[in-house]
Amino acid sequence: MMIENMSADFTCPSCKYNRTDFLIKSDKTDPGAIISEKVLCISLDQLVRDHHLSSVDLLQIDTEGYDFEIVSAIDFSLIKPTLIHSEHGVSKGIMSRQNLARLRELLHQNAYELWLTEWDAVAYRSDSFVDL
């Protein structure tokens, strides 16, 4: 799938991004600060299938406030990473409190516990760790 990065609205399988929203979230006021570039992208599900992955230990996500949309695009019946680390930055408005709550609910529905720091969210599968 080929998309034009940040030049206008564009859609991934379950996410919608637009240049204006990105400028607001990134505290940039100059629309010229973003350079349009065509990039090849695939979903995590497609990456897992293409490379015949049976497991993922750590999924690192840093998409400047769109982390909930990325996590919601994961097919948890296909792959369940042991750890999912993402940035929420609720205190700076990077992610809304509503999306953080939705992220927590989605992860709990898929057997993850969530540990929050001021900026980050770490989701872990409770069945992946041993009590000592």
In residues, how long is the chain?
A: 132
CA end-to-end distance (rounded Å), the chain: 46
Tens of pLDDT along 26-57? 555 566 666 677 778 888 889 999 999 999 99
In terms of CATH, what superfamily is 52-132? Answer: SepF-like protein (3.30.110.150)
Q: Residue 22: pLDDT band by 50, 70, 90 thresholds? A: low
Which structure tokens are listed for 15?
Answer: 């996410």
Judge whether residue 99 has pLDDT over 50: yes
pTM > 0.75: no
Q: Residue 23: pLDDT band by 50, 70, 90 thresholds? A: low
In 3D space, the residue among 90, 40, 45, 41 whose CA is nearest the CA of residue 72 turns out to be 45
pLDDT for 2 equals 37
The answer to whether the CB of 121 falls within 8 A of the CB of 114 is yes
- Return the domain boundaries, the chain: 1-41, 52-132
Tens of pLDDT along 85-95? 998 888 887 78
